[in-house]
Homo-oligomer: A and B are copies of this chain.
Amino acid sequence: MRLEIAGLASLPEVQRDDDLAALIREAAAREQQPLDVSVLVAVAQKIVSKAEGAIANLREIEPSAFARSWAAEWGKDPRLIELILQQSRRIVRMDRGVLITETQLGLVCANAGVDQSNIGDPDLATILPKDPDSSARHLRAALGCGAVLVTDTFGRPWREGLVDVAIGVAGLAPLRDLRGSADRHGRRLSATVIAVADQLAAAAGLAMGKSDGSPVVLIRGFEWPAREGTARALIRTPETDLFR
């Protein structure tokens, strides 16, 4: 298998209410990168949120007493803490200034995905897209590519540093289940479900960078069976989660 991973270098800065699919199509055409069913397109959450207007204005947020108290203790903006709490359905850890929550969609991440980078106004923050699977489905239909991943950069317990994961999926089963298949010696693989969508997101992340890379990355050479797919399959159920 030979994969090719390339960022779209000519994508313009995405603004609120831009037609993101049109911008991607135009950049791909300029760069002579055909978008067909063999191509998987990874799109950074940040530009999906911007194009969809998933942007909160901190000036309009009235922090609760709880948000104000935590913000004061850790030197944070209380409006930002309030926004994070509003985006969350459960707090997983709240310690040493770090706020890890389960978002309304069930994703567990720092700050519920609320982010002030690359937005250009200190009173604005992007929030996660309302339905990243739906965002991915719409982009896939508009682009005519094989699959779309909406990716975000998450921290992990136990390991330093952030990696990209898939928070929205269309056109691909995000898990590849090898249980029941055999290894080279015929031994049944008992617990091997690979999170291919997260591996693809991480691979795309290498070409995304954070301040310099491109937020849209094309992956060629990956073969997968066409499936509708949903990033919800990547979220552990409470029953199998030992780290709630």
CB contact under 8 A between A178 and B211, given known A7-B1, A189-B117: yes
What is the CB-to-nearest-CB distance from A201 to chain B, in angstroms, rounded to a whole number? 8
| A205 and B213 contact, CB distance less than 8 A | no
Q: Which residue of B lies closest to A98 (CB)?
A: B242
Give the 4 A-B CB pairs with smallest separation, nearest first: A161-B195, A203-B203, A202-B202, A157-B243
CB contact under 8 A between A183 and B242, given known A2-B4, A163-B202, A235-B158: no
A13 within 8 A of B: yes
CB contact under 8 A between A205 and B211, given known A96-B242, A108-B158, A242-B95: no
A9 to B186, CA, bound (A): 20
Partner of A211, one of B1, B183, B211, B242: B183
Tell me the residues in window 80-116 of chain A with beta carbons closer than 8 Å to chain B beta carbons: 93, 95-96, 98, 100, 108, 110, 116
A170 within 8 A of B: no
Residue numbers in B under 8 Å from A116 (CB-CB): 187
A93 to B161, CA, bound (A): 22
Q: A1-B209, A199-B203 are in contact. List 17 more A-B contacts (CB 8 A).
A: A1-B206, A3-B6, A118-B183, A118-B184, A118-B185, A120-B184, A156-B157, A157-B157, A158-B243, A160-B193, A161-B174, A178-B210, A189-B210, A192-B210, A199-B206, A202-B203, A203-B206
Partner of A156, one of B156, B182, B185: B156
Residue numbers in B under 8 Å from A178 (CB-CB): 210-211
What is the CB-to-nearest-CB distance from A171 to chain B, in angstroms, rounded to a whole number? 16
A39 within 8 A of B: no
- Number of contact residues on A: which range applies? 35 or more
Residue numbers in B under 8 Å from A162 (CB-CB): 192-195
| B233 and A160 contact, CB distance less than 8 A | yes
A153 within 8 A of B: yes
What is the CB-to-nearest-CB distance from A40 to chain B, in angstroms, rounded to a whole number? 11
CB-defined A-B contacts under 8 Å, sample of 13: A2-B6, A93-B243, A96-B242, A156-B156, A157-B157, A159-B236, A160-B175, A160-B235, A160-B240, A161-B194, A163-B163, A192-B210, A243-B243
A43 within 8 A of B: no
| B159 and A165 contact, CB distance less than 8 A | yes
Residue numbers in B under 8 Å from A163 (CB-CB): 163, 194-195, 198-199, 202
